[in-house]
């Protein structure tokens, strides 16, 4: 099959075609030709106003629901949502039922890989049943396709277990993740602890619950060596701790959720449970420090931290609502509005190296793996922009700039339907 992409601007600094407007001919999934103008018969022609493309985007922390929570999201629709949102590769978390803590569970998560444009790279559980007691079968899961090991949103409370994990995975260059939360400090809190949380009568989580855990984890990493990833930072001091650790030469990386870069805890005044996430939205000062950490490279990557929650568990009293927001659909528009186009594309692709995900150079003879987008145009994110089965979107009614249009990957073209 031949696909001809007409008049697309390439955004990939490592490509000779960066910032050039070109036609691209794809034959059987391979880039056959890239020229200013191609006049050749094709089975399908893609021509969209102000079309831009880059290499396919990767998100390092995505949750769906299947198996166990299909009412939240299925694998099939989740991957379709990702494709329409511009993503071609996902790190899929282990928080299903049963927990993905063995090789056969990972095989299930990858069952759609040959059918869909989006490819799943499992983030396997670090411990059995994600209970934090015994190390899971990480070596077997590594061979089954796991790109990292992480008990989703659960800290490694036992420092000796973290020590053993970091030492063990060095045998195969594995990546351990440790969620930054000291549960003994956080206790039963669910929002940022400050004067506002007291006034609102909401139970708070102090910033130092995150910072204390990060400090401990970095000390363990300094002792053991190995590779550590700390997902979804939320505080100013956490950024400073990572910055200092990198100066010391520790092999540590970190991420921030897109919503933490855009919102802060003033949103809690409405008691809207869409804004209940873990880690919680912090202060404006924390938010600004996170943006600065992204700009100066201290924070290595962004994630949507996409977490569908069914209406029965989200549209309830704030205290009883489950943590989480969906974010795949709004990620590009939010980042583009905040940071500009080239920085946005860099952030949506640079995590691949850390997770050993294949990159894709836009060059003749290479397999085509593209994300399509239009970086122009402001609009308000609305229900018709949501493709997920669950609708718990923090970005509803927020102004975004530019839209993801779809993807071409694994010989599949997926475009979102026109919306208003």
Tokens of 134: 């015994």
**Is 319 a domain residue?**
yes
Q: How many Cβ atoms sit within 10 Å of the Cβ of residue 134?
A: 10
Q: Helices (DSSP H) in 323-398: which residue ranges?
A: 331-339, 341-349, 351-354
User: Dihedral sign, CA of 34, 39, 45, 51?
Assistant: positive
**Is 403 a domain residue?**
no
Report pLDDT digits (tens) over 370-406.
999 999 999 999 999 999 999 999 999 999 999 999 9
CB 233 within 8 A of CB 259: no
Chain centroid to CA 309? 17
Average pLDDT of the segment spanning 175-200: 94
Q: How far apart are the first and last CA of the chain?
A: 31
Average pLDDT of the segment spanning 131-146: 96
CB 58 within 8 A of CB 90: yes
Tokens of 373: 């987008």
**Is 43 a domain residue?**
no
Q: What backbone phi and psi angles, to 5 degrees, belong to 379?
A: -155, 165
**Is 419 a domain residue?**
no
pLDDT for position 417: 74
Report pLDDT digits (tens) over 223-254.
999 999 999 999 999 999 999 999 999 999 99
pLDDT for position 26: 97
**Is 33 a domain residue?**
no
Tokens of 96: 């299903």
Average pLDDT of the segment spanning 134-162: 97
Helix (H) or strand (E) holding 210: helix 207-224
**Is 244 a domain residue?**
yes
**Is 228 a domain residue?**
yes
pLDDT for position 202: 93
pLDDT for position 1: 87
CATH number at residue 240: 3.20.20.140
Q: Please tell me the distance from the alpha carbon of residue 17 to that of residue 117, in angstroms, as a whole number.
A: 24
pLDDT for position 420: 38
**Is 101 a domain residue?**
yes
Structural domain span for residue 179:
56-354
Furthest C-alpha separation in the chain:
67
pLDDT tier at 112, thresholds 50, 70, 90: confident
pLDDT at 282 over 90: yes
Active site residues: 305
pLDDT at 261 over 50: yes
Q: Please tell me the distance from the alpha carbon of residue 29 to that of residue 391, in angstroms, as a whole number.
A: 33
CB 361 within 8 A of CB 14: yes
pLDDT tier at 60, thresholds 50, 70, 90: very high
CB 387 within 8 A of CB 85: yes
Cβ neighbors of 267 (< 8 A, separation 6 or more) are: 275, 281
pLDDT tier at 418, thresholds 50, 70, 90: low
Report pLDDT digits (tens) over 362-372.
999 999 999 99
pLDDT for position 94: 95
Number of domains in the chain: 1
pLDDT for position 351: 96
> Higher confidence at residue 114 or residue 246?
246
Report pLDDT digits (tens) over 9-27.
999 999 999 999 999 999 9
Report pLDDT digits (tens) over 287-317.
999 999 999 999 999 999 999 999 999 999 9
pLDDT at 419 over 80: no
């Amino acid at each position: 099959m031949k696909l001809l992409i007409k008049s697309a601007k390439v955004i990939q600094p490592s490509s000779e075609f960066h910032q050039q407007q070109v036609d691209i001919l794809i034959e059987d999934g391979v880039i056959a030709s890239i020229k200013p103008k191609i006049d050749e018969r094709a089975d399908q022609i893609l021509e969209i106003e102000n079309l831009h493309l880059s290499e396919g985007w990767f998100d390092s922390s995505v949750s769906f629901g299947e198996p166990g929570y299909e009412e939240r999201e299925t694998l099939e629709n989740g991957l379709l949502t990702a494709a329409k949102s511009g993503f071609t590769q996902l790190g899929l978390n282990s928080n299903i039922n049963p927990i993905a803590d063995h090789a056969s569970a990972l095989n299930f998560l990858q069952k759609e890989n040959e059918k869909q444009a989006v490819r799943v790279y499992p983030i396997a559980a670090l411990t059995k049943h994600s209970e934090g007691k015994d190390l899971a079968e990480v070596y077997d899961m590594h061979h089954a396709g796991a790109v990292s090991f992480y008990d989703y949103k659960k800290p490694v409370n036992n420092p000796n277990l973290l020590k053993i994990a970091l030492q063990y995975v060095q045998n195969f260059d594995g990546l351990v993740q440790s969620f930054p939360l000291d549960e003994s400090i956080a206790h039963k809190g669910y929002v940022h602890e400050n004067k506002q949380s007291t006034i609102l009568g909401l139970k708070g989580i102090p910033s130092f619950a995150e910072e204390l855990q990060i400090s401990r984890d970095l000390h363990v990493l300094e002792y053991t060596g190995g590779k550590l990833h700390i997902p979804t930072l939320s505080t100013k001091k956490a950024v400073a701790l990572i910055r200092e650790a990198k100066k010391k030469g520790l092999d540590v990386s970190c991420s921030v959720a897109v919503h933490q870069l855009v919102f802060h805890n003033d949103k809690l005044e409405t008691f809207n449970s869409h804004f209940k996430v873990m880690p919680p939205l912090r202060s404006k000062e924390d938010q600004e420090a996170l943006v600065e950490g992204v700009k100066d490279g201290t924070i290595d990557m962004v994630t949507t931290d996409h977490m569908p929650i069914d209406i029965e568990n989200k549209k309830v009293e704030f205290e009883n609502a489950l943590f989480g927001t969906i974010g795949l659909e709004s990620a590009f528009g939010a980042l583009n509005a905040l940071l500009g186009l080239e920085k946005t594309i860099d952030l949506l692709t640079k995590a691949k190296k850390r997770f050993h995900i294949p990159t894709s150079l836009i060059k003749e003879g290479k397999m085509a793996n593209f994300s399509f987008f239009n970086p122009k145009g402001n609009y308000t994110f609305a229900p018709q922009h949501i493709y997920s089965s669950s609708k718990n979107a923090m970005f509803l009614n927020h102004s975004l700039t530019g839209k993801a249009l779809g993807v071409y990957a694994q010989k599949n073209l997926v475009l979102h339907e026109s919306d208003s």
